[in-house]
Chains A and B, each alone.
Chain A
Amino acid sequence: MIASGFIALCNKEVLRFAKVGFQTIAAPILTAVLYLLIFSHALEAKVRVLGIGYTAFLIPGLVMMAVLQNAFANSSSSIIQSKITGNIVFVLLSPLSHTEFFFAYVVAAIIRGICVGVGVFLATIWFANLSFESPWWILTFAVLGAAIMASLGLIAGIWAEKFDQLAALQNFLIMPLTFLSGVFYSIHSLPDFWQNLSRWNPVFYMIDGFRFGFFGVSDVSPWISLAASLGVLTVLVTATLNMLRRGYKLRA
C-alpha cells in the first residue's frame, strides 16, 4: 500500500508547479520552440544527421533536454525555496520516512519533466515528419532521465544554502552537460577527443537512447545507454537516500 503521507507530499509538489504553470510549463516550451525555429532555419537545408533531416533529428533532443532540465529545476528549486523560507519544517515534523520524502519529490519532478516534454513535443511535431520506431525506449529514457535529474536536483537543493549556489550549479554543470550531450548534433561529427569526452557525459546516453526510440538509429546501442543511465541513477539514488537518512543540512 502506498503511504498516504507520500501521496500528500507528491500532490503538494505537483500543485506547487501547476499553480505557476506559465513559468514552469509554458516558458520552457517556448524556449524549446525558439531553439527549433532558429536552428532548423539555419541548418535544415545544409545538414543531415545519422541520415535524418536536421529538424527531425533536433526535435527529440529538445524534448529530452526540456524533460531533464525541468525535472532538475523542480526538485532543486522546491527544496531550496522551502529551506530558505523555512516551510520545510512542516515536512520534517511529519512522520514521513526519508524514502517517502525522496520518492515524493522525485515522482513530482518526473511529472513536471514529462509535462514539459510532452508540451515541447506537441509544439514542435508540426515542423518535421517524425517516426516512432520504439515507443518503449522513448518512455523508458524519458522517465529514467527525469528520475536521474530529479535526484540530482534533490542533492543540489539540499546542498545549496543560497539561490546563487544553485544557480551556479545550474549554469556551470547542468547547462553544459545538457548542451554538450548531442542534443544539437551527433557526437560522431566531433573530433576524437571531444567524442571520447562526450562518452563521460551521462546526459549523452539519456538523449541518445531517447532518440533511438524515434529513429531506430543512435550514436551508441540503446542497451549501453540504458546500462549507463541505470548506473548513474543507482549512484544518485543511493547518495540522495543516504543524505536524507542522515538528515544532511536538513536536521541538525
Chain B
Amino acid sequence: MKDIAVSIEKVSKRYGQTIALDSVDLTVRPGEILGLLGPNGAGKTTLISAMAGLVRTDAGAITIMGHDVQRNYRQARRALGVVPQELAFDPFFTVRETLRLQSGYFGAVNNDDWIDHVLVSLDLVAKANSNMRTLSGGMKRRVLVAQALVHRPPVIVLDEPTAGVDVELRQSLWRFIRELNRDGHTIILTTHYLDEAQALCDRIAILRAGRLVALDTTSNLLETCSGYLLRILLEGDIPAPYANLLVVSGGWREIELKSFKELELILSAMREGGTRIVDIEINKLDLEAVFLRIMQKESGI
C-alpha cells in the first residue's frame, strides 16, 4: 500500500434516483498532482466528500494512506486536508484563532510554529489578527487552504481552489500548490479551468455522470488531440469543400488541422476563390479540446 496515497474501489453513491457516483475506480500515487475534471454534476465534489467522510457511499471502499475512511476514519482524516469549494468561515474568530482551533480538532496542540509558517507561506501574516468577516474573498480562500494544511496532511484535496479569484491570487495559489507538491504532498485538484489542470497536473481523471470516463497522464491525453485549431474570419463566398468543413462559431469559422500543410491548402483555396481573410488565429490543441472530445463521445454526439 506504500505506493498508493488514495485508493478508490468501485465506489457508488445515489441520491434518490440520481446516480452521483457509478462504480468509480481510481488510484492516486504518492507525490503526484491528479486533476479531477468533469462538467457540473459529474460527481467530482461527491467523490471528494466521500474521501473526506462527508458523504457515505452506498458501495465500494476508499482508503487514504491505507486507512479506510469509514472504519479507520480518525487516521484517514488525519492524513487528509480538504479545501472546500464554498467560502465557509466562522465569523466569530480571527484568522489565527481559526487556525488554532482547526489545529486543535486534529489533536495538534502547541502548533503555533507551524501555524506561523503556513501564515507566512500564504501571505496571511498581516491578517493574522483580523476577524474572518473583514477579509476579502481572496484572503478567505487563502485561510481555507491554511486550514487544510494546519495538521500537516500528506494528501491535500483542493475543490476548485481558484474559482472566482483574481489573476494574481490564482498565480500565487498555483505556485503554492507546486511548492506543496515539491514538499512531498499528494494533491488532488478539481477545477473547471482546463489550462489550470494542464499547467499543474501529472495525471487527469475525467468524470461524467458519476462515471470515470478518462484517466491518463496529461501528456498522453494531449497526444490524443495533437494538432492545431484554426479560427478564421472571412468575407465573401467560401469555396465549395470548405463551406461545410469550416464550422461556424460566433461569427468565426473553425477547423482542426493535423499540420501546417493543411493550413496552406485552405489559404490557397481562399485566395483562388476570391474570399477575403479578415482575421486569423491558430492555436495548438489543448486539454479543452481533449475534454470536449471525450464529453461529446460519451454523450454520443
Contact = CB atoms under 8 A, between A and B. Distances in A.
Q: Size class of A's contact patch?
A: 20 to 34
Interface string B6-27: 0000000001000000000000
Interface string A7-18: 111011001100
Nearest to B78: A95
A9 B54 contact: no
Interface string A128-160: 000000000000000000000000000000000
B106 A95 contact: yes
Given A8-B104, A12-B101, A251-B56, A93 B93 contact: no
A90 interface: yes
Contact of A95 (B49, B74, B91): B74
B97 interface: yes
Interface residues of B, number: 32
A217 to B, nearest CB: 43
Contacts of A7: 104
Main secondary structure of the interface of A (DSSP, over half): helix
Most buried by B among A8, A86, A247: A8
A93 B82 contact: yes
B74 A85 contact: no
B105 interface: yes
Contact of A94 (B77, B90, B97): B77
A92 interface: yes
B107 A11 contact: no
Contact of B88 (A5, A85, A96, A252): A85
Contacts of B105: 5, 8-9, 90-91, 94-96
B84 interface: yes
B101 A11 contact: yes
A87 B92 CA distance: 11
B195 interface: no
Contacts of A38: none
Nearest to B81: A93
A8 B54 contact: no
Contacts of A9: 101, 104-105
Contact of A93 (B54, B97, B107, B109): B54
6 contacts: A85-B89, A86-B88, A93-B52, A247-B56, A251-B53, A252-B54
5 interchain residue pairs of minimum CB distance: A8-B104, A86-B88, A94-B105, A95-B74, A95-B77
Interface of A: 3-5, 7-9, 11-12, 15-16, 19-20, 82, 85-87, 89-97, 247, 251-252
